[in-house]
Amino acid sequence: MEEMQLAHRIRAFRKLKGYTQQQLAEETGISLAVLGAIERGNRRAEDKVIDKIASVLGISVSELKPPR
């Protein structure tokens, strides 16, 4: 359940900040396929990937991670 919430939050913030999946993948240094899988909830994002995504989007990690 947490993975799906994280996936939706990543996608929502990406769109809010005006990034395409391709742009965000390039800026974070992860492949488009991996980012797509994370956004669909099919792949667990490692903490370092979450850190990179948050940094590129200009938000805190706590904004990305769903509340427990």
Interval 10-67: pLDDT, tens: 999 999 999 999 999 999 999 999 999 999 999 999 999 999 999 999 999 999 986 7
**What separation in angstroms does the CA of 56 have from each of 28, 37, 59?**
7, 18, 8
37 domain-assigned: yes
13 domain-assigned: yes
The helix, strand and coil proportions of the chain, stated in percent and rounded to the nearest 5, come to: 70, 0, 30
Q: What is the pLDDT of residue 35?
A: 98
Beta strands in 1-68 (DSSP E): none
11 with 42: CB under 8 angstroms?
no
Provide the number of structural domains found in the chain.
Answer: 1
32 domain-assigned: yes
68 domain-assigned: no
Q: What is the pLDDT of residue 11?
A: 97
Q: Which domain holds residue 46?
A: 2-63
10 domain-assigned: yes
Residue 68 in this model has a pLDDT that exceeds 70: no
49 domain-assigned: yes
Domain with 50 in it: what CATH number? 1.10.260.40
Q: What is the pLDDT of residue 36?
A: 97
34 domain-assigned: yes
Who has greater pLDDT, 38 or 68?
38
pTM of this prediction?
Answer: 0.90
- Rama region for 58: left / alpha / beta (φ>0; ψ in -120 to 50; rest): left
